[in-house]
Amino acid sequence: MEKRALLAVALSLLILIVYQEWASRYYPPPPPREEQREEKKPESLAAPPSPKPQPTLQEAKPPGPAKPQAAREIKVETDHYVALFTPQGARLTSFRLKHYRTSVDEKSPPFEMIPSAPGIPYPLGVQLPGAKPFDDEGLAYSVQGSDLNLSGNNQGSLVFRGQSPTGAIVTKEFTFTGSGYAIGMQVSVEKDGALGTPAVILSTELPKNGPKSDGLLEGFLTHLCIKPTSHALAIKGGPGFEGLLAEVGGKHIRETAEALVGGKELTGKVSWVGFGHTYFLFALLPEEKTEQKITVKQTGPALIMEIGAQPGTNGQARTTQTIFIGPKDLDILKGLNRGLEGSIDFGYFGFVSMPLLYVMHFSHRLTSSYGIDIILLTFLIKLLLAPLTHKSFVSMKQMQKLQPQMERLKDKFKDDKEKLNKEIMELYRRNKVNPFGGCFPMLFQFPVFIGLYSALQTPIELRHTPFLWIKDLSLPDCESLAMTLGSWTLGIPILTLLMGASMFLQQWMTPSAGDPNQRRMMLMMPVVFTVMFINFPSGLTIYWLVNNVLSIGQQYLINRMEH
C-alpha cells in the first residue's frame, strides 16, 4: 500500500508539473513589460512634464516613418473607446480603450490597440487585385463626416472615398454605436468592366522577446522573483500576443507568432478572424459565412493579414464586415452571437472554467471585489467536494488504524510476497476499507484546479484588479511587493508563503498509513508546491490558500469526532 500511495502522490505532482510546463509552452511569452513599452509610446500617452495645456490626441500622435500621415485626423469617441482615422489611406491610426489601462498604475493611460512603430502599416487598408496589386496606404481619400462623440444607442458614420491610379473608385464606410465595441465596415470598388474583390488588411506588431536569462541559475532565480535590477520587477499586466485566432469551417484555429513568420494561408467559410492577445482581440466578422481566403505574412517587424471577400456583380465588388476591437470579455463576446467567445482559450477543461467564471460574475454583482469572489467560490467548491474530502480523510484514518496489523503481516510473510498481498487484501475486506479511498477523491479535485487556473489566468476580469496588498490578481503576488538588494530586485511572495505554510500544517494533520520516510516525503510536498506557486496568478494562490484553511478545519473536526 505504501508504494501505491507513493505512486499516487508522485503521479499527482507530475500532473501539475507537466501541466505548468505545457501551459508555459502553449502560451507564448508576454511582450516586454509595459513600463518599457511606455517609453516608446507617443507623448500623448504620458502625462505632460510641465503645467502647459495637454496636447490633443491629434497633435500628440507622432507619425511613424513608414506610415503616411494626413494633415487632419478624425476622432470618434464612444462610451468605450477613442478612435482616430486618417484620410491618408482611410485607416485606423489609434484605438484607445477607455476602461482598460496600459499598466497597473492607476495613472497609466488608456490601453492602445494600434501599434505605433516604424515599419508597421495601419490596419483596415484595402488591396485591389490585378497584375500589380494596389495597396491604398498612400491613397488620399475625401471624407464625408466629421468628429463623432457618441453615447448609448446613438449611431454615426464616416465615409471615405478615393480614386486609385487605375481609375477605380474605392469607398470605405464605417458605422459606430455609442454603447458597443462593434464597428460596421463596408468597402466597395467601382470601375467599368470586370473587377476582382478587394481584400481587407489587418496588421500588428510581431512580439519582441523580453530579456533572456544568462543561464540555468539566473532562470531559476527569475522563477523565484529574484532578478537583476536592470530587469526590474515592475508590474507588467501586458497582454501576451497569441497570434492568429479564427473560426473557419466551424473549427477554431490558433496559430502562434512563430508559426506565422513563415506565412500562412487558410480557405473556408469564415465566421471571424483576427489577431488576438491574452486579454484583447482585433477581429473581422464577415456579414455572411462565405468562402474566403486568409493570407498572413511577415513584413519586417509586422504581421500582415489579408482577408479576401466574394466578387460582386455589375462591375462592382463589395465586402461588408463587422470589426471588433476590444476586451475578451465573455459576456461582450457572446453578445455578438457569432461565436467570438471561442477566442478565449480555456483549454481542455473549459467545461469547468466557464461555469466557475459565471459564478464569479454573479457574486461580483454583490461584492464588487474579485478577491472576495474567489474566496466565496472556494467555499462553494469546498462545499461541493466536501463528501469526497470527508471520505478521503475517513479512509486515511481507517488505514492508519490498520497499520499495526499490516506491520505484523509484513513480518510474518516477509519471504512470501504473494501471500502477503493476499492477507493484506483480506485485511482490507474484513474491515471494509478501500486502499485507494484516500487517493481517488483527491484526484477529482485536479480538473477543478486546472479549470480554475484557466478561469483566473485567461479572462480579462482579473487584469489590474487589486486585493489587499496585491496590485493585480492575474499576476504572481511576488510582483506586488519588491525590494532592492544591491544590484538585485527581490519580489516577496507573502501570499505564496502563507499558502505553503497552510499546506504544511494540512499535511502534518493528515493521517499517514506509511512509514516515517514516507511521511517525511509528504511533508516536503508543501515546499515543492510553494516553489511552483511563486509564478502562478495570485488569484489562484488565494484559492489554494483558502482551500487549505478550510481543509484544516474539516480535518480538525473529523479528528475530534474520531475521539
The most confident of the ranges 103-107, 198-202, 281-285 is 281-285
Which pLDDT belongs to residue 283? 95
pLDDT band at 461 (very low <50, low <70, confident <90, very high): confident
506, containing H or E segment: helix 494-509
Cβ–Cβ < 8 Å for 188, 176: no
Measure Cα distances from 21 to 14, 18, 24, 496, 524 in Å.
Answer: 10, 5, 5, 19, 21
Cβ–Cβ < 8 Å for 547, 378: yes
Instruction: Name which of 73, 78, 29, 43 is nearest 325 in CA terms.
Output: 78
Arch. (CATH architecture) of 34-345: Distorted Sandwich (2.70)
244, containing H or E segment: strand 241-248
Instruction: Name which of 234, 213, 212, 228 is nearest 486 in CA terms.
Output: 228
pLDDT band at 156 (very low <50, low <70, confident <90, very high): very high
Give the single-character DSSP code of 534.
T
**Beta-strand (E) ranges in 309-388?**
316-327
Q: Which residue has the higher pLDDT, 16 or 164?
A: 164
95, containing H or E segment: strand 91-101
Which pLDDT belongs to residue 46? 39
pLDDT band at 90 (very low <50, low <70, confident <90, very high): very high
Q: Is 9 helix (H, G, I), strand (E, B) or coil?
A: helix
* pLDDT tens readout for residues 198-244: 889 999 988 765 555 455 665 666 666 766 655 544 444 456 888 89
Which pLDDT belongs to residue 383? 87
Instruction: Give 170's strand partners.
Output: 162, 189
Instruction: Give 125's strand partners.
Output: 201
125, containing H or E segment: strand 125-128
**Mean pLDDT within 257-276:** 89
What CA–CA distance (Å, rounded) separates 277 from 507? 39
pLDDT at 94 over 80: yes
Domain locations along the chain: 2-27+355-562, 34-345
| Cell numbers standing for residue 255 | 496559430
- Identity (one letter) of the amino acid at 52? K
395, containing H or E segment: helix 370-412
Q: Which residue has the higher pLDDT, 304 or 556?
A: 304
Q: Which residue has the higher pLDDT, 486 or 183?
A: 183
What CA–CA distance (Å, rounded) separates 259 from 81? 31
Dihedral Cα 103, 257, 137, 100, nearest 10 deg: -20
Which pLDDT belongs to residue 381? 87
| Cell numbers standing for residue 96 | 484607445
Which pLDDT belongs to residue 310? 54
Cβ–Cβ < 8 Å for 307, 294: yes
* Long-range pairs, 107-112, Cβ under 8 A, ≥24: 107/47, 108/34, 108/38, 109/41, 109/44, 109/45, 109/46, 110/82, 111/280, 112/41, 112/45
